[in-house]
Amino acid sequence: MSKEFKINKREVAYNGFFRLEKYQLQHTLYQGGWSEEITRELFMRGNCVAVLLYDPNRDEVVLIEQFRAGAILNPDRAWLLEIVAGAIEEGETAEEVAYRESVEEAGCEIEELTLINEFYTTPGGASERISLFLGKVDATNVGGVHGLDYEHEDILVTTAKFDEVFQMVEDGRIESGIPIIAIQWLYINRDKLRQKWGVN
């Protein structure tokens, strides 16, 4: 079968810190023919990068904690444990963003970068596509408060042993989807990576 869609109308419903676009569209159906015209709002987030910073010699993960407006309906947990992330600006590659954001948000210089996966976060209503990386770092002197003032960033940076971080996922203390995916990936691949890097 042929998979096609057509956009009959597009308008910008809101343009502020983020942009919301409204579409009237149709798409082909599995059993043949076309759907009725449907209306969908699309949250235009753009493409982003996230990096799980890991020190294989210390077996430590770099975590960041910051206030998140998306979590304010659960006021006691509006500060989320996450990993370094940022938007891809025009003219930048995903890899360049990974290196830049790791310095800006965590004060970390990446020694080696590995692509974990690329995926949509909420394809039912948002355009955001994530390039998720693992960044090998030396976490010996990592910590403190980081972020850019003009972006209103107030980011607490800490490190923790991998087993403790994985337990945070198991216990529900890490509630953001992207770090959960990254930490579970490292759980699967950690021994292989440590062997590759010559760590016992």
Task: Return the active site residues.
Answer: 151
Q: Of the candidates 131, 133, 134, 104, which has an alpha carbon nearest to the alpha carbon of residue 120?
A: 131
Structure tokens at 76: 């006691």
DSSP summary character for residue 133:
E
Identify the sign of the CA torsion 52, 118, 101, 99.
Answer: positive
Identify the sign of the CA torsion 66, 71, 73, 74.
Answer: negative
Strand pairing class (112-120; 84-87): unpaired
